[in-house]
Amino acid sequence: MSHTGRHFLQIPGPTNVPDRVLRALSAPTIDHRGPEFVKLTREVLDGLKPVFGTSGPVIIYPSSGTGAWEAALVNTVAPGDKVLCFETGHFATLWRDMALKLGLDVDFVPGDWRRGANPQTVRERLEADTDHAIKAVMVVHNETSTGVTSRISEIRAAIDAAAHPALLLVDTVSSLGCMDYHHDAWGVDVTVCGSQKGLMLPPGLGFNAISEKAQAAAGKIDRARSYWDWEPIIEANRSGAFPYTPATNLLYGLREALAMLHEEGLPNVFARHARHAAAARAAVRGWGLDLQCADEREYSSSLTAVRMPGESGADRLRQIILDRFDMSLGNGLGRLKDAVFRIGHLGHFNDLQLAGTLSGVRMGLHLAGVPIKDGGLDAALDHLQSN
């Protein structure tokens, strides 16, 4: 079937790239050792710090978020070191798998994929670790596969209550630029992110924001690393350069995306995301469907994962919506394959886009024969009108 108009890309990332950013990406490439590039580097690094909530270094790699995961690990822990992580969803599981491949001893706390990392469990595991064998706690802030957000400030409080020296490593790939986040104030040691979600860019950049404690740990780690090594990048960044060929045009786009975030104001960006998420949840409840997230304290502002009722298949629903209405929704990953569909409402997004998205979901549910109640769409629109 041929379609007119714009495709609705409502997966939880990569997200729609704003026209302003697309135009910035198309600028001619410049000499990455010249003065114009030095200015670009400094503008980007300065603009990133408020988004991460840090006054410390933010390191940029030409990579995916997976690369940024690896950088966080190879700079802070050595083969044989023990790490504590939590089965909050598909991406937490993948990060665990990477840790195993890198030779780490992983204590993986099982979970039901409906809740975030439990701060009380963090405290109990660390208090029991009297020899301080655990070198790092790994947590996914916003689990993109489930729409569940772990409470990072409470996890930091749990680490402090246990008086444990473990580093805190946090994945913010689908939360940074969408939800309130404070690398410094929450005592995070490494914050991992990618470019393709709240930062409104195409895939291709990975980020590590690092604390002084993490940087000190990296200086003591005895393991081979080259491309991912923080120190040469930090040193080159001091003069506005990189130790390798940078992704110049993505940096152009990043500068424009950061300008957009700061023009709107980060508190307003976070409030917009929270408002759209609440409207999406109102629609789901109004249809009589269930959310994957089971704890209202952990609702995601970036996406809503919806559980399919009975024997209804989420993938068939997604295919109907794609074929009929030219809209892409996120699929179920890992153990949630065909059991949920995910509505992305993050990045460059507004009320009418959400209204159109939810209209497409409602029509798709009817066409798929999924039994739903009336009133879900009206509930979402009422929320948008009144808030």
Q: What is the CATH number of the domain that holds 245?
A: 3.40.640.10
Q: Which helix (H) or strand (E) holds 171?
A: strand 167-171
Are 228 and 310 within one domain?
A: no
Could you tell me how many helices (H) and strands (E) the chain has, helices first?
Answer: 13, 14
Give the chain's mean pLDDT.
Answer: 97
Report helix angle 119-128 to 152-161, nearest 10: 30
| CB-based contact 194:68 (threshold 8 Å) | yes
SS3 15: coil
Rounded distance between C-alpha atoms, residue 302 and residue 289, angstroms: 19
pLDDT tens-digit readout, 347-376: 999 999 999 999 999 999 999 999 999 999
SS3 24: helix
Given 262, 284, 300, the domain boundary residue is: 262
Instruction: Give 308's pLDDT tier (boundaries 50, 70, 90).
Output: very high
In a domain, 193, yes or no: yes
Are 320 and 372 within one domain?
A: yes
Are 153 and 32 within one domain?
A: yes
Are 274 and 169 within one domain?
A: no
CATH code of the domain covering residue 309 = 3.90.1150.10
The pLDDT of residue 2: 81
The pLDDT of residue 222: 84
pLDDT tens-digit readout, 126-175: 999 999 999 999 999 999 999 999 999 999 999 999 999 999 999 999 99
End-to-end CA distance of the chain: 38
Rounded distance between C-alpha atoms, residue 170 and residue 84, angstroms: 12
pLDDT tens-digit readout, 103-130: 999 999 999 999 999 999 999 999 999 9
Q: What is the mean pLDDT of residues 58-78?
A: 98
Q: For 150-170, give the DSSP string.
A: --HHHHHHHHHHTT---EEEE
Extended beta strands in 187-346, E state: 190-194, 205-210, 290-291, 303-307, 327-329, 340-344
In a domain, 2, yes or no: no
SS3 119: helix
Are 328 and 248 within one domain?
A: no
DSSP secondary-structure letter at 208? Answer: E
**Structure token pair of residue 28:** 């001619």
Q: What is the mean pLDDT of residues 198-223?
A: 96
In a domain, 1, yes or no: no
Beta partners for residue 134, in sequence order: 82
Number of domains in the chain: 2
| CB-based contact 278:387 (threshold 8 Å) | yes
Asked if pLDDT for residue 201 goes beyond 90, the answer is: yes
In a domain, 237, yes or no: yes
Are 227 and 271 within one domain?
A: no
Are 95 and 227 within one domain?
A: yes
pLDDT tens-digit readout, 260-289: 999 999 999 999 999 999 999 999 999 999
Q: What is the mean pLDDT of residues 244-256?
A: 97
Given 230, 262, 294, the domain boundary residue is: 262
The pLDDT of residue 311: 82
Are 346 and 274 within one domain?
A: yes
The pLDDT of residue 238: 97
Instruction: Give 312's pLDDT tier (boundaries 50, 70, 90).
Output: confident
pLDDT tens-digit readout, 1-24: 689 999 999 999 999 999 999 999
* DSSP3 helix / strand / coil % (the chain, rounded to 5): 45, 15, 40
**Structure token pair of residue 243:** 């130790």
> Which residues touch 307 (CB under 8 Å, ≥6 apart)?
289, 290, 291, 292, 339, 340
> Which residues touch 19 (CB under 8 Å, ≥6 apart)?
none
| CB-based contact 41:241 (threshold 8 Å) | yes
> Residue 179 sits in which domain range?
19-262
